[in-house]
Chain A
Amino acid sequence: MLFHVDLDAFFASVERLDDPSLAGKPVIVGAAPGRRGVVCTCSYEAREFGVHSAMPISEAYRRCPQGVFLPVRMRRYVELSGRVMEIFSRFTPDVRPMSIDEAFLDMTGTRRLWGPPAEAAVKLKTCVFEETGLTISVGVAHNAYAAKIASGLRKPDGLYVVEEGQEEEFALSLPLSKLWGAGEKTQERFRQLGIVSVAQLASLGEAQIASLFGNAAGRFLHAAAHGRDPGILGPDSGRRSLSAETTFERDTAHRETILDVLMGLAEEISFRLWDSDYRSRTLALKLRFDDFSTISRRATRPAPYLSSAEVFGDAVEILDRAWDGRRKVRLLGLGFGDLTARTDGAQGELFADGSEKIRRAESAAFEIERDGKGRLTRARLLGKEGRDRRRPGGDAGIR
């Protein structure tokens, strides 16, 4: 029995938690309006204006000029995410965080502790809300795919249970637009082909779907239409990795947009890593293209990562090797592999080098934020107009 748990509008909810005057307002966390960059998260009020994550901030401002635009305070989100994940781990030892605001919980064998799945899910939701003030949406199913779809159906503060054996029926009952992994381009293709329901799609054989959508997409859509997991979790690498990913609302080949999102991912996984008891020397980049083909590339460096600037720099290098700059990207993921216990990194250095300075700058920035003395974020995420083309270093900009 799997729970897929999603923190509702996570970054925006944290901002609202820290500043109750934002209640009921459209909160948009990401780049500053009038600058370059994208939306990271927005509240449900903002979604009503058509704002969504990974949307260029200029577009978000056009749609919702009355929105409260806030910068990303990744360390604060990591702190709260850590508390929520800790609560998850009280319910089951088998928590698989997918990103800062999303995790799979394998609840198999916990019935005697927490009762039947629906009851356990309510207890989990109550516990998270009481201890952190955040709401979560839970999807319960026997496979990861169905659980993931289910958690999205009754957001926010939702709960949806797919009973065992009902996965296919569940999938068939979904509107075609909810078919996870079927983005704008695929939906357009459905329209062209006159496919209007999941049932209609499911009635086509795998070979036929493959001939219409290509092999990778065919396999994916065929499994998804029948309520089977097309492999969204990927091979379980256990606790030895830590990653985050973003699906673009619209497939894009716009390098700057991709780099902005990559920077956000680099910060997210870096701060999560610093917060953990682990260090890593291995960075893995995942790219899913508009035809659903997915590639992963990884690189290992000699010393553990100590700053998100190093992570971003290496991520850009991996991206440039893996991507020709023309194929449209629908999903971008970044993660650390081969995590090792932090004590490795506790070795002091004789010669203070740059990375140590950058790491210290980042932790100073965090302390400034935490103590309420100001808000700092990376110049890249500020999206300065006409900024120079240097690779970002440890430069943090105050706004």
Chain B
Amino acid sequence: MKFTCEKNALAREISFAQEVIASKNALSIMSNVLLDARAGSLSLKATDIKVSFETSLPVDTGEEGVVTVFCDKLSGILASIPEGDIALEEDDAKVIVKPTFKKVRFQLKTIAGERFPELPQAENGITFSLPARDLKEMIAQTIFAVSDDETRYFMNGVFFENAEEGLALVATDGRRLSYVKRAFETTVPTFKGVIVPPKILSLIQKHAPDEGSIEVAVTEKSIFFRFGTYRISSLLIEGQFPNYQKVIPETQKNRMLVRRLDWLDSLKRVSIFVEQKSRRTIITLSDGVMVISSEENEIGTAREEIPCRYEGPKVVLALNYRYLEEPLKVMDCEYVVVEFTEPNRAITISPEPSSDYFHIVMPMQVE
């Protein structure tokens, strides 16, 4: 195998591949990126077994061939050399990397391409296409709520399911839940709801462009996304996503309106004093005023008042500030509405005017 290409173009793809690869063990094929040069094109493959990545870019092919190299080091090499053309050449179980304009050469040991695992293919899947911007927005509204508790593995991903003619994304860690539902110009075909691990969704958020569309394919075990030259896939999480519908309050007694950034900024300030393990923050509502405060500890306290639109009995809520901060950060509205019934029942946070998403948060006990 031998090819020449522009360094930055290759570096971009190699760094994407490196994000997919989890292993840093130089002796494992799983740490390697597969390079396949043929007919003026270089295709790359990387996988951590669960998430797989494929792309291609145009190169000057000198000699066709397939080889795998330690991705971490290749990425390091590419980052260290200046812009310009570089040549990669396979030579007896090594790949020689050299810029065409500098007297430096790197030798990387290789592992034969045949030993690289077969990547899953989207055969017999249900396929549809979504506007990239919509999918990225929907991921942003939900991904932070995914549980990282491995004993609740069925909550370790974002649930994708049909919602009327469109698509709903739901994520929960058992204490809060985020939901977004959107319809598109074309109807989403019926598929059985799937739990998608957050890693692939983060990759989409980071690498997919805002314009254009993303092709989606869902099979029994995997989900596939295609945008630009990229094809990425992930194994789905097996298991039953919880019956989330029943924890979404249908009606709430009380309603409070507040400017989103006022609340977010004051939470950030008060959080300096909030106990970092429980992140317990006290929200006190009375006519027209919201007080955000920390519980007193050996260091001190913080308390801030902000105006809000609320008419009702004085209420004290205890909440994990992260469960407020995370949704408030990604909501795209000037005002948010908080609805609640009792201090120990789930609260609903939604944009005003209402949109196609909302967040549910379970409070902590008020002692």
* B residues whose Cβ falls under 8 Å from a Cβ of A: 149-152, 172, 174-177, 242, 247, 275, 277-278, 280, 295, 318, 320, 344, 346, 360, 362-365, 367
Contact B247 A350 (CB under 8 A): yes
Residues of chain B with a CB closer than 8 A to A302's CB: 149-152
Residues of chain A with a CB closer than 8 A to B176's CB: 350
Contact B363 A348 (CB under 8 A): yes
The answer for the CA separation of A231 and B320 in the assembled complex, in Å, is 42
CB distance from A277 to the nearest CB of B (A): 11
Q: List 15 additional contacts besides A347-B278, A350-B177, A351-B174; criterion CB under 8 Å.
A: A302-B152, A341-B277, A343-B275, A343-B278, A343-B280, A343-B295, A343-B364, A344-B278, A346-B278, A346-B364, A349-B175, A350-B175, A350-B360, A351-B172, A351-B247
The answer for the CA separation of A302 and B344 in the assembled complex, in Å, is 23
Residues of chain B with a CB closer than 8 A to A348's CB: 175, 344, 346, 362-365
Residues of chain B with a CB closer than 8 A to A343's CB: 275, 277-278, 280, 295, 364, 367
* A residues whose Cβ falls under 8 Å from a Cβ of B: 301-303, 340-341, 343-344, 346-351, 353
Of all chain A residues, the one with the shortest Cβ separation from B297 is A341
Of all chain A residues, the one with the shortest Cβ separation from B175 is A347
Contact B177 A344 (CB under 8 A): no
Of all chain B residues, the one with the shortest Cβ separation from A348 is B362
Of all chain A residues, the one with the shortest Cβ separation from B152 is A302
CB distance from B10 to the nearest CB of A (A): 41
Residues of chain B with a CB closer than 8 A to A351's CB: 172, 174, 242, 247
Out of A341, A344, A350, which one reaches B174, CB within 8 Å? A350
The answer for the CA separation of A22 and B275 in the assembled complex, in Å, is 49
The answer for the CA separation of A125 and B320 in the assembled complex, in Å, is 45
Of all chain A residues, the one with the shortest Cβ separation from B243 is A351
The answer for the CA separation of A303 and B173 in the assembled complex, in Å, is 12
19 interchain pairs (CB within 8 A)? A302-B150, A303-B149, A341-B275, A341-B278, A343-B280, A343-B364, A343-B367, A346-B318, A346-B365, A346-B367, A348-B363, A348-B365, A349-B174, A349-B175, A349-B362, A350-B172, A350-B175, A350-B176, A351-B247
The answer for the CA separation of A30 and B237 in the assembled complex, in Å, is 47
The answer for the CA separation of A351 and B275 in the assembled complex, in Å, is 25
Contact A340 B346 (CB under 8 A): no
Task: From A301, A340, A346, A347, name the one whose CB has the most chain B CB atoms within 10 angstroms.
Answer: A347
Of all chain B residues, the one with the shortest Cβ separation from A340 is B277
The answer for the CA separation of A348 and B346 in the assembled complex, in Å, is 9
Q: Return the 7 tightest CB-CB contacts between A and B, nearest first.
A: A348-B362, A346-B365, A343-B278, A302-B149, A350-B247, A346-B364, A344-B278
Out of A347, A350, A353, which one reaches B320, CB within 8 Å? A347
Contact A347 B151 (CB under 8 A): no
Contact A350 B278 (CB under 8 A): no
Residues of chain B with a CB closer than 8 A to A340's CB: 277
The answer for the CA separation of A328 and B298 in the assembled complex, in Å, is 48
Residues of chain A with a CB closer than 8 A to B364's CB: 343, 346-348
